[in-house]
Structure formats: structure tokens, C-alpha cells
Amino acid sequence: MARDPDEYPEPESFKPERFIKPDETLNDDNVRHIFGFGRPLCSGHHLPDVTVWMAIASVLAVFRLVHVKDEYGHEGPVEAKNTSPLVSRPLPFKCAFEPRDEKARALLAQLQDQEDIE
């Protein structure tokens, strides 16, 4: 059901923009059938969305994802490639995580100090 080409054109392609409306807001296209229907509906069906959004927001609040530069200082291309269509996930790609600013750098140092204490 989640790979219906009538519902999702090119369902095997990684296209996160398919979930963004023309006014740049997210559409309400949450795939809920994977959590069951009716009475046997999983009671924790909201947990994955909330958990993933919080994790992504936390990382992006502190880090910028940037292209990795080669030995000449040029940014290499990033190609979005996925594994097999049955259970699709992104293949590894090169990128770098850089602190967004000095405030983020200070927060990371503070977290490292706390980790060293424990």
C-alpha cells in the first residue's frame, strides 16, 4: 500500500519533497496502515513520528550537514542512492557535521565534559 505508484509517483525513489505542499508546509500524509486498523491498532502509533522528529530537530539545532571536501578543497557530489526496494534505506554517503555556531560548540564541549565526569 505504501508503494502504490498512483498514490506516490516513483515510490522507489527517495523524494522527501513529495510530502511538502506548494506553500512549503508539510502535508498530512502519514502512513498509518502499518500500525494496524480498528481495535488492534497499535497504541504507540504516534511514538515513532514524535521520536524521529525530536532526534532530527535536536541534531539539526546544533549541527550543519556539509559536503565533504576533497584534497583540493572542492565539494564532492552527494548522490541519493537506496538499498533494495523491499526494505529501502539510504546507502552510506560522505558528509560532515559541523557545529552551527559558537553557542553550539560550547554546548557540545559542556556535554563532553559531563560525559568525561560520568
Q: Which amino acid makes up residue 60?
A: L
Burial class (CB in 10 A: 0-12, 13-18, 19+), 89: exposed
Number of domains composing the chain: 2
CA atoms within 13 A on the CB side of 13: 8
First-to-last alpha carbon distance for the chain, in angstroms, is 47
- pTM, whole model, 2 decimals? 0.55
DSSP SS3 for 117: helix
Tens of pLDDT along 40-75? 777 777 788 899 999 999 999 999 988 888 889 888
User: Is there a single domain that holds both residue 16 and residue 60?
Assistant: no
Tens of pLDDT along 75-102? 877 777 888 777 778 888 888 899 999 9
User: Is there a single domain that holds both residue 37 and residue 54?
Assistant: no
What residues pair up with 97 in beta bridges, in sequence order?
65
User: Is there a single domain that holds both residue 27 and residue 51?
Assistant: no
All residues at 6 or more sequence positions from 70 whose CB lies less than 8 Å from its CB, including other chains: 76
Phi first, then psi: give them for residue 44, nearest 5 degrees. -100, 25
Residue whose entry in the numeric block shows the C-alpha cell 502499518: 34
User: Is there a single domain that holds both residue 29 and residue 55?
Assistant: no
User: Is there a single domain that holds both residue 34 and residue 60?
Assistant: no
User: Is there a single domain that holds both residue 9 and residue 25?
Assistant: yes
User: Is there a single domain that holds both residue 71 and residue 106?
Assistant: yes
User: Is there a single domain that holds both residue 35 and residue 11?
Assistant: yes
Mean pLDDT for 106-115 is 90
The parent domain of residue 64 ranges over 46-117
